[in-house]
Structures are given as structure tokens and as C-alpha cells.
Structure 1
Amino acid sequence: MIEREIMEFDVVVVGGGPSGLAAACRLMQKANESNQELTVCVVEKGSEIGAHIVSGAVVDPKALTELFPNWKEDGAPLLSEVGRDEVHWLESESSSRKIPNWMVPKSLHNDGNYVISLGNLCRWLAEQAESLGVEIFPGFAAYDVAYDDTGRVEGINTGDMGVASDGSEKDGYMQGMLLKAKQTVFAEGCRGHLGKSLIDQFGLSEGRSPQHYGLGIKELWDVPDSVSEPGTVIHTAGWPLNSDAGGGGFLYHLENNQVVVGLIVDLNYKNPYLSPYEEFQKYKHHPLIAEVLKQGKRVSYGARAIAKGGLNSLPQMAVNGGVLVGCDAGTLNPAKIKGTHTAMKSGMIAADCIVELLANDPSYGQKLHEFDHRIKQSWLGDELAQSKNFVPVMHSLGTFWGGAFNWLDQNLFNGKLPFTFRDEIPDSAALELAKQHTKIQYDKPDGVLSFDRLSSVFLSNTNHEEDQPCHLQLLNDEVPTKHNLPMYDEPAQRYCPAGVYEMVENEIGTALQINAQNCIHCKTCDIKDPSQNIRWVTPEGAGGPNYPNM
């Protein structure tokens, strides 16, 4: 076997999202302050920084202000400060009730926050990182973790390029490289496949509750002047989701006559016939939402899983030679429904620890022993501690009564009630048998507010080289038809928001067809499959969605 080419750095950052870019920027800032020579690279699987970024997003700017105090003057793309900020209870498909401000948990208030495109913020952060001396490599997928002979993390291997689906080498084949580092920062986002392998390899989640997830589905719309209100934030709870599924919707007004609309469906839902995608299509027909969208035009579509287990599900984050940050670990504050500021802060704390460590011990594979402690001692640790009950209470009591408890917990006790709720059932195990439920009949899309999956995938600009190994790997090819189909009516054909999984008839009977080229990298299949038989790994670099300003 030909040995891989090796590129050596002091620090390799895996992922060009907010946590990874914040870590890279802080590393160079601290190194420059102390006159340290430091080499840092960011490897990003998307075709460019921001290509795979999709988030609501209403952002708390406090981490950004710590990192770049002059971000306004320097042109950071935070342009629409939150003005009108409302929460509505959707009672039915046609009625709603605005919740008085005093009844909303204060963690959901958005004073001083901004409605933004997170992809555009990441592009701006990448510019700042490069100006500080960080090398950024878009279009290169981190395929697996590299370990040295002692089991310490020594970097990552990038994926080979130009491999055919049968494993043979095509014209233009290029072997991946070993990016070797004294410290590797894993910042892949929610359910990162390298982060997942590290958690398993080192038992980092022992004694923790299982991570819990939501699937966020989002569209970007152009709307006329008459309905555009930059800075308006509307959150909803209730319809179309029922007692079988938690979650909620959102409608945010950006600048330039654009709005974003989305629905988050908790992935601990019970009914195998539920389709998060179809629930989102229903959601847009509610008058509260339809009044804004009906004269507009849909311009982009995306979806992404959200790690929302909070403190109870947070693994140990530091290992020998590496550290998990941001949503790769699960630092989102579920009480605020915000993860950008917390992700950035975790990356910044990691950077501080790394610079101090390398100044005293510049050898490979040391552990950031102070990292987890510093997380707990920071405002990030305070936020996670205050929101520790938010998700398990919603899972236990439902949206209405769980919301009432969280109002009490957040508004009167600042999240400091002296007991802890837990949800020990993994999302994949929450699904009930198909025979316990009735099939849900969803309306056909009208092409005005609601649309089919394939037209939506088209708007995500998703592209994969077709002749490559499938990045959606079945651990056992027989499980979909022999287990999932008879027990759950194979839910993959409904929980995937991109039409990747289809049950088809062929010469040997019913089979699961995987349309991997449609995959928008949401990771839902890796999370929700009741048999845990689907393993998501990175496709060839630059494959996947290409979001413009999501």
C-alpha cells in the first residue's frame, strides 16, 4: 500500500462552521499576542465555506463580540437586529393565539439578537481567519481519524478522490493525505461522523444521557416590500405537530426582502408514518405563515439535524490529541434554541487551552486537561446548566405542560431548580410499531406554498459525483426489508427530507433503494433508523448541498 502524503500543522480544525472558524481565529490571535509561531489549517468538506451551513438563524452576538469587538465596523453580516419578537400557539390548521410576552420563557426573548444567514457569517469568519494566517482547504472531506501507535489522535486522513463505486481508481484518482497535528479540533457540526467515532472509541458519553436531536427543515423566500419586516422573529408551537411529536416552527425576516421559514421536529417522535418534510409543507399553509409567503417566491431549501440534549447529553470533550467543540459535542442551548454563540465559545475556549499547552509542551497528542473544567466555569457552562431540564421536561410532559414547567424554571428560578430530569431513551428507540398507528394521508403539494421533495432538493443545489462509493452505508443489507419494513413500514422513506430512501420492486422483490446523490447531509438517517443500521460517512470532497446564504 502506498503511504499517504503527510502535511504537518500545529493544529488541524475539522469543519468550517462557527465553532471551527472561531477556534482557528482565536488560535492565531492568541499566538500573535504571545509571539508564538503557530500553523493552523481548517479542512472543510463543502465546496466552499458556508456551502453546507444551514441554520435558522437568530444569533446572540456575545461570542462574536468577544472574538472581534469591532465586528460592526469590520463588516460582519449581522444587519437585521431583532425588533418584533413573538411566540404563537397554533391551535389548529386555521387558528392561532399569540402568547403574551410575560408568559414566554425569558430564555426565548431575543432582545439584542440578530436575524442572519449563518452561511454568510461563516464566510466572513473565514476571511478573518485567512487574514490572521489560517490556511483553509475547502472541498476536502475528513474521512477518518488518524491515531499514532499509542492510540493518541495525531490528525485526520482526507478522503481519496476519484474512486469508482466498485472501489476501483478512475482517471484523475488522487489519494487522500494525512493532515498531522499536535492538536486536532473536531468541529464537524451535529452528528459529525468523526466525532461520533471518537465518542465511541474513548467512551466519552459513559454516564451521560443519550444525545437527543431535532430535524430542522428550512426555506428561504423572496417576498414583496409590503410584507417584509427585517428583524421580525416569530416562533410557533402546536399544530401541525401533535402529542406523538414535539417541536415548533419559525418565521424570520431578513434584510433584502427575504424571509426564512422552517419547522423543527423532535426526532424522538413515535409514529413511524410521520414525515417531517410533509409536516413542514402543511405548516406553511397556516394563515399566520401563508399571509407572508403567498406572494413570494421560494429560492432555497435545506435541512439539518440539531443536537439539543444539552448538558445531560454532553460528552467529555477532550481526548489525547483532540477536542470536540460546538455541535460535534452538543453545546447548543436548548432553552434559547440557539447554538451559534455557544459553538463559537467552545471553539474559543479550546483555542485558549491549545495555545497554553503548546507553549509549555509542543509535543504531539497531549490532552487538554483544563478544557472541560473551563467550559463549566464559563458563561457557556452557566447557560448549559440553566437549560439542563428544558428538553427532557418537554419530552416527559409534552409541549404545553413542558412549556409551563420551563416558564417556571427559567423565569422564576433562572434554571436552578435543585433536581434534574433525564430522558434515557435514544431517539432511534422511541419509534413505535407501524401496527400501533394509522397511516397519515398528506395532501399533494400545490406548487405555491407546498412542494415535492425533488423540487426542494433541486433548490439546495445538491450534487454528488454519481460513480463513487455510497456514503450511506448499510451495516446489514437485509435489515430494511426483513426488519424495518414489516415492523415500521421502513420509516427511512418518510423521515429523510430529501427522498434518498425509496422502497422499490425489483426482480427479487421489495428492496430499499438509496438515492445517495440526493443527500443533503442532514444526518437524520444515522440518528432515527430504529435498527441503527445506517452509517453516514463523508462522500467525496465538495459533494452535497451548495447553500447560497442559508
Structure 2
Amino acid sequence: MGERAMSERESMEYDVVIVGGGPAGLAASIRLKQLNPEVSVCILEKGSEVGAHILSGAVVDPKALNELIPDWREQGCPMAETKVTDNWHWVLTSKRKFALPHAFMPPLMSNHGNYTGSLGNLCRWLAGQAENLGVEIFPGFPAAEILYDDKGSVRGVATGDMGIARDGSRKPDYQPGMELLAKYTLFAEGARGHLTKQLKHKFNLEADCQPQVYGIGMKELWDIDPEKHVPGRVIHTQGWPLSDAWGGGFLYHQANNQVALGFVVALDYANPHLFPFEEFQRWKQHPEIRAILEGGRRVSYGARAINEGGWQSVPKLAFPGGALVGCSAGFVNVPRIKGSHTAMKSGMLAAESIVAALGAGRSGDELVDYQPAVNDSWIAKELKLVQNAEPAIAKFGGDYGTILGGIDMWMRTLKIGLPISMKHHPDNGTIGRKDLYAPIAYPKPDGVISFDRLSSVFLSNTNHEEDQPVHLQLRDPEVPISINLPLYDAPEQRYCPAGVYEIVGREEGNPKLQINAQNCVHCKTCDIKDPTQNINWVTPEGGGGPNYPNM
């Protein structure tokens, strides 16, 4: 583990270390303790508290929660507050909406029996359940480094050093990171986890799958006029305003006269002038959406990348000493816009595999029964039904792709699906030259329904210690000006939903990229969409980033 580790770092040993306190990591920890209360388990969570970095719509299928904690409704789980009562899918033009008949929707798309609410609050509740069982949770401590043993197996992780100045020197409050050693380590980092990227490369986990692809999801919470509030109403939209990309919006009527609304833009778009955040703001100005929001008040904002690759992009899940669970592996059902239930189930299955291994006296080896368990589970059955929905739209466009994807879903539901699995292309390779696409004229925000990025980031409660190394690393500092600016008009200025990247000095003839790292909401879009993959997202100092109260 290195001379530095031996001389400076303290270490703690557990049976299982889990990186990430989201639905997958928490479900895994609870299942571990349910199966064997003697197993020692700890969770590292990079947010200031569990739930601080959790962002989702969310409409939750309770399937996994029913299996994990059957009486969750009676135990005060906040997700039980609002059951889905009303489900709509709208196709938008610039002025009108067309509601798709429910009979056209495949059965899997129904939200009957689902619940809408804050996924962050669900995670806070799950964390309480885990702690009651003896799980140790350390919020504000991001896993910054993977530790390996002499055989190359994962041996655990190390947290990041605290008190490092921007220039790399140690400040007076410097504290070295801590080593968390384990017999098995689960990585539940969410979409585009920075340690998961390393594991995929080291163990060649994507050798037999398609590349993972993503969307950028932006979300706001609004308090609305009580007379407009219909608890449990779920609305999804597609169509306007997108023309150079595909995606869609959502608006969920949750508890306490509040709606959660947001917009997702697939990151395989080609027009470098596209501005996902502005597409979201423009969507809110649609007459049908604006009518719901008028007279209301925006109370929160956030953004997060979403896995969209589906079943064919799920990598090899296990490797010596550990495994991937949840969105680290990519279990999102894209047409349903749901991944919490599959994430939780994958964590539960990994936990069952670990308990069996520990019971047999094993440690540090590959959990060879975990992947077959996933393949035999309802995770695989559900994701296989929709595996061609996203690539059909990517290949044939929103209108024809939706029709073809819907036909494929219906056929698979009837067990006569097409015997093909459509392919993906990495999102960073799809962007085109700036001279091949027309710039897009976006309206200025009105400050009532639509807003700018900086006022939005303020509502995310994002904060980073300023005097620390920039956690958005450039592999080559010349690339933004020598390649991205002349070829693509610096698309990082637009695809970031938080205003982190800014080209300054153009008028003086000396352009340079300014990175406003303190604005970063940890969405990972830059790590995904940068054309040359020159931007590498790593963890900032512990507790930094957004602090979502109810997202």
C-alpha cells in the first residue's frame, strides 16, 4: 500500500466497505446485517450527510423496498406519503400538448402502485435503518483512492487528505486520509463514479458490453398554488423544445403542495451549440407547464448525470475483492426513468453473495455468483424488455425512435421481441464541429419561470473549500483552447449545468479556460461529454458539493 500509507495513514478494518450512501449502498448494508448481524460494515458517503448528493425525480417502484423491509410503510418511511394516482404522457409542440392514450403504453410503463417523493429523504430513512442494525456510516468522507493487495485484488479504499492548499502544500489543519480495509468492497458511487472508471479499466470490465451512455438531468422543486396541486399526479413529456437532441421532461405532484419537475437531455447530441440548461428553462415556458408553475415559488435546483445505456451496457460486475452495484453498474430503466429499485436489488444480491463467501471463509476473491444472480433476477428481465428503446431513439430520432422502441417493448412484453441488441456510441465522440451547426438563440430568463445558472446553483446550496486543489483536472491544459474552442466553440461552457467552465480573455485576444470549481454540483457531465476526454473529475475535499435538502 506504499511507504506513505504505512507512515501517515491510520487504518480501520471491516468485513465490508461500501463506497456511496445511495439506494444501492444502503440496501446492501441493510441486507448484509439482516443475513448476518456479526458482519462488520461501513459506508463512506462523500456528501455532508446521507442524501446531500442524492438527486432523482423521483417516482419509485417499491418492488425492492418491499423485499428489503416489507413493513416500510408502517415504519414511517417518507416515500409512503404520496402514492401515484394519476399518470400522463404528453407529446409537446411549441404551443400544444397531445396526451398519449394509456392503451398505447406498454404495461411496464404504468406507474400504478408506485410512489413519488424525495429520494434523498428515502436514503436518510434507509440510513437510519442501517445504523439501527449496526452499520457505521461516515458522511463527509469521500473515497479518493482504491487500495490493492500484493496480488492485485481490491483491499479497500482510502479517504482523501484534508487541509491541502490549492498549490498542493499542507495547510495548518492538514489531516491525512484514512485507510478502510475490507474483505470485500462494494462500489455504489452512482453514475460515472470516478473510482468505478478506474476499476473498469484495471479489470477490463467493459470488454464484453456496449459503452455506457448518459443523459444530463436537471431538476427543480416548486411550491405551487394549492388549487393547482393534485397529489400523486405524474406527468412525463417528450418533443418540444428539443430539435437537436432527444430527451424529455417530468413533473410530479408530491406532498405539501410541492412539485418536482425536471428535464433530461441525452448526451449523445451533436450540435455543440446546444445548451441543456437553457432547454430546460425553455421547456418550463410551455403553456401547459407554465400554467402549473405560475403563482408558485422555486425552492431548489440540482443536476446529475443519468445512465442510459441499459442492459447491453452493464459491465462485468465482480472483480477480485469487490463488485459494482447500482448506478455504478448502470441499472437504470430509461423509458421508465427509474433506477432506484434496480439499484437496491443489485445491492441486496451483492450482499447475499458476500455473506455466502464470508460464511465459507473466503475473502478478497471474485464474487463469481453475483453476476449470475443478477442475470437470473427481475433486474435482467425488466431491463431486457427495454434494451432497444434508447438506441432506437438515438439512431432514428425522437419520433420514429419512440415508435420503433415502443413496438420493440410491446413485442418483448409478448415474448416475441426482435432478437437483436442495438449498439451505443460513446457520448464524447458524437459532438460535431461548430461550423456544421447553427447557433441556437435562447430567450433570456424572466426571473419568474426561467432563471440563469448562477441563481440556480445558489439554490443547490453548493459549497467547496476554495483553497484546495481543483477537483476538475485537465490532462492537457492546452486542449481547451487549442481544440475545444476552435473546433467546437468550447462546449464545456454550455453542457455544464452549473457554470463551472468559462472562456475568458477572448476580447483581449488571449482566451483561456477558467474553471469555477466552487460551482460544481457533482453531475459528472464534463467527465462524460468532453470531446477529447481531457477533463477528469476527482473527489474534492470531504463534504464539498451540493447540499440538497429534499431532492
Q: Is the 8 A contact 1:209 1:422 kept in 2?
A: no
Which whole-Å deviations, capped at 9, do the CAs of 1:331-361 have from their partners, x for residues lacking one? 1112322100000000000000000000002
Q: Does 1:40 align with 2:45?
A: no
State how many pairs are aligned.
543
Deviation at 1:508, TM superposition (A): 7.6
Q: Secondary structure at the match of 1:306?
A: strand
In 2, Cα distance between the equivalents of 1:251 and 1:105?
A: 20
Q: 1:179 and 1:53 mapped to 2: Cα distance?
A: 23
Letter in 2 for 1:404: I
Q: How much does 1:381 deviate?
A: 1.4
Aligned to 1:325: 325
Cα deviation 1:340-392 (Å, max 9, x = unaligned) = 000000000000000000000243x1110001100000111111222211111
Structure 2 residue aligned with 1:10: 15
Which residue does 2:85 correspond to in 1? 83
| Aligned equivalent of 2:191 | 190
- Secondary structure, counterpart of 1:302 in structure 2: strand
Distance in structure 2 (CA, Å) of the matches to 1:362 and 1:408: 47
CA distance in 2, matches of 1:106, 1:466: 50
> 2-side partners of 1:259 and 1:426: how far apart?
33
- 1:372-387 correspondence to structure 2 within 5 Å: 372-387=371-386
Kept in 2, the 8 Å contact 1:144–1:157? The answer is: yes
RMSD: 1.1
Per the alignment, residue 359 of structure 1 pairs with 359
Provide the rounded CA distance (Å) in 1 between the counterparts of 2:362 and 2:407. Answer: 49
Structure 2 Cα separation of the partners of residues 479 and 325 of structure 1: 34
Q: Which amino acid aligns with 1:23?
A: A
Look up the match of 1:260. Answer: 260
Deviation, 1:422, is 2.3
Q: Which amino acid aligns with 1:290?
A: R
C-alpha contact 2:461 2:546 (8 A) present in aligned 1: yes
Which sits farther off after the overlay, 531-540 or 500-509? 500-509
Does the CA contact (< 8 Å) of 1:386 and 1:416 recur in 2? no
Partner residue in 2 for 1:111:
112
Task: Write the deviation string for residues 1-30 of structure 1: whole angstroms up to 9, x where unpaired.
Answer: 433111000000000000000000000000
The equivalent position to 2:24 in structure 1, one of 19, 24, 41, is 19
Check the 8 A contact 2:411/2:417 in 1, yes or no: no
- Structure 2 segments unaligned to the other structure (5+ residues): none
Query: Which residue identity does 2:303 align to in structure 1?
Result: A
1:61 aligned residue: 62
Name the TM-score, length of structure 1 as normaliser: 0.97
SS in 1 for 2:271: coil
| Partner SS, residue 144 of structure 1 | strand
CA contact (8 A) 2:408 2:418 kept: no
Query: Counterpart of 2:76 in 1: which secondary structure?
Result: coil
Residues 1:221 and 2:203 are matched in the alignment: no
C-alpha distance in 1, partners of 2:311/2:545?
A: 31
* Alignment of 1:304 onto 2:304: yes
| Structure-to-structure mapping, 1:288-303, within 5 angstroms | 288-303=288-303
Structure-1 separation of matches of 2:109 and 2:479: 42
Deviations 1:137-172 (A, max 9, x none): 000010011111111000001000010001111111
Residue range with higher mean Cα deviation, 102-111 or 228-237: 102-111
* Secondary structure of the corresponding residue to residue 81 of structure 1: coil
Distance 1:436 1:149 in 2: 52
Q: CA deviation at 1:438?
A: 1.1
Cα–Cα, structure 1 residues 416 and 263, in superposed 2: closer, same or farther, change >3 Å?
farther
1:173-212 alignment to 2 at 5 Å? 173-212=174-213
Work out whether residues 385 and 412 of structure 2, in 8 Å CA contact, stay in contact via their aligned partners in 1: no
- CA deviations 1:150-203 (Å, max 9, x no partner) are 110000010000100011111111100110000000000000001111001111
Q: Are 1:465 and 1:540, in contact at CA under 8 Å, matched by a contact in 2? A: yes
Alpha-carbon distance in 2 for matches of 1:460, 1:423: 35
Structure 1: which amino acid aligns with 2:479? Answer: V
SS in 2 for 1:439: coil
Note if contact 1:392-1:421 (Cα within 8 Å) is conserved in structure 2: no
| CA distance in structure 2 between the aligned counterparts of 1:163 and 1:416, rounded to whole angstroms | 58
Instruction: Tell me how far apart the structure 2 counterparts of residues 10 and 163 of structure 1 sit (CA, whole Å).
Output: 30
- Per mean C-alpha deviation after superposition, the further-off stretch among 206-215 and 408-417 is 408-417
Structure 1 residue runs of 4 or more that deviate by more than 6 Å after TM superposition: none
1:74 is aligned with what amino acid? Q
Alpha-carbon separation, structure 2, partners of 1:226 and 1:420: 48
Aligned to 2:34: 29
**Equivalent residue of 1:509, what SS?**
coil
- Give 1:61 shift: 0.2
One-letter amino acid of the counterpart of residue 89, structure 1: V
Contact 1:60 1:114 in 2 (8 A): yes
Identify the residue that residue 129 of structure 2 maps to in structure 1: 128
Question: How far 1:467 moved relative to its partner?
Answer: 0.3
2:167 alignment partner AA: D
User: What does residue 240 of structure 1 align with?
Assistant: 241
Q: Secondary structure at the match of 1:167?
A: coil
Displacement after TM superposition at 1:409 (Å): 2.1
Aligned ranges for residues 163-174 of structure 1 at < 5 Å?
Answer: 163-174=164-175
CA displacement, residues 476-529 of structure 1 (integer Å, 9 cap, x when unaligned): 000000001110001000000000000000878100100000000000000000
Alpha-carbon separation, structure 1, partners of 2:368 and 2:474: 37
Displacement of 1:416 in angstroms is 5.1
Contact 2:223 2:257 in 1 (8 A): yes
CA distance in structure 2 between the partners assigned to 1:131 and 1:362 by the alignment = 27
Aligned mates of 2:306, 2:441 — CA distance in 1: 27
Q: Is the 8 A contact 1:395 1:423 kept in 2?
A: no
Secondary structure, in 3 states, of the residue corresponding to 2:464? coil
Give the fraction of aligned pairs with identical amino acids, expressed as a percent.
57
Structure 1 counterpart of 2:487:
487
- Return closer, same or farther for 1:338/1:23 CA change in 2, 3 Å cut-off: same
Helix, strand or coil at the partner of 1:23: helix
